[in-house]
């Protein structure tokens, strides 16, 4: 049985970190639409230029672009044993499209990571990423642990934009919780804990769903 996991939660909840850890521990790919979009921005592609202005304003990239990226990615051979989706779906329309993409496959396991808004603002306003590979930086480090690139603040992580991103999340993305809540594979994780404790709680929740 394939392990198909969705990570939900607001910006700064730790979705990316936990998704990467879990995917690595299970030997399945982590699919981050955010990473895909940032790579396109860095490469200066047409979709990257379209997405950059939207991302810099703290707004969400259009459903059509996001759905197309995910559909193509989920057609690759390396997802046969499962995958971890980070950053998708973000709207109910995207969730409906994902259900269509997933027809005939093993069911989705949905995990919502919950963190208080005040903690999210604190985290995001101090977050650094690598300007070369896009990886999140560790606290108090100046260079990327993955590629030794320089760590910089994301253009969409200043406090004003962070507040706008949380407002957008609450208005457009949080309805996903209502969309998925009734499913037997829906779980809630406390993200306001040290990363190791969040990872342990996540693993326990997934184990309760099998495999």
How far is residue 165's CA from residue 162's CA, in Å, rounded to a whole number? 5
How far is residue 30's CA from residue 78's CA, in Å, rounded to a whole number? 10
Catalytic member of 26, 30, 52, 90: 90
Catalytic member of 76, 154, 181, 197: 154
21 catalytic per annotation: no
187 catalytic per annotation: no
End-to-end CA distance of the chain: 7
154 catalytic per annotation: yes
Tell me the two tokens of residue 135.
Answer: 């990886």
15 catalytic per annotation: yes
Catalytic member of 21, 26, 38, 165: 165
Distances (CA, A) of 116 to 11, 12, 168, 200, 201: 11, 10, 16, 20, 18
38 catalytic per annotation: no
Place of tokens 């407002």: 167
How far is residue 28's CA from residue 44's CA, in Å, rounded to a whole number? 29
Catalytic member of 30, 127, 146, 197: 127
Catalytic member of 15, 50, 57, 123: 15
Residues assigned a catalytic role: 15, 90, 127, 154, 165
């Amino acid at each position: 049985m394939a392990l198909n996991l969705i990570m939900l939660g607001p910006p700064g909840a730790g979705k990316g970190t936990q998704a990467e850890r879990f995917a690595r521990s299970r030997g399945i790919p982590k699919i981050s639409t955010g990473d895909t979009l940032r790579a396109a921005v860095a490469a200066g592609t047409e979709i990257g230029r379209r997405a950059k202005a939207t991302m810099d304003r703290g707004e969400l990239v259009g459903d059509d672009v996001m759905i197309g990226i995910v559909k193509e990615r989920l057609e690759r051979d390396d997802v046969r044993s499962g995958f971890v989706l980070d950053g998708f779906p973000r709207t109910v329309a995207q969730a409906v499209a994902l259900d269509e993409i997933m027809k005939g496959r093993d069911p989705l396991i949905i995990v919502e990571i919950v963190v208080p808004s005040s903690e999210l603002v604190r985290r995001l306003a101090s977050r650094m990423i690598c300007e070369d590979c896009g990886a999140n930086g560790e606290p108090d480090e100046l260079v990327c642990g993955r590629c030794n690139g320089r760590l910089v603040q994301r253009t969409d992580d200043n406090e004003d934009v962070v507040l706008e991103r949380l407002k957008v999340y609450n208005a457009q993305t949080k309805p996903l919780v209502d969309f998925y809540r009734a499913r037997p594979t829906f779980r809630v994780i406390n993200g306001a804990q040290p990363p190791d404790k969040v990872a342990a709680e996540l693993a326990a929740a997934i184990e309760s769903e099998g495999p």
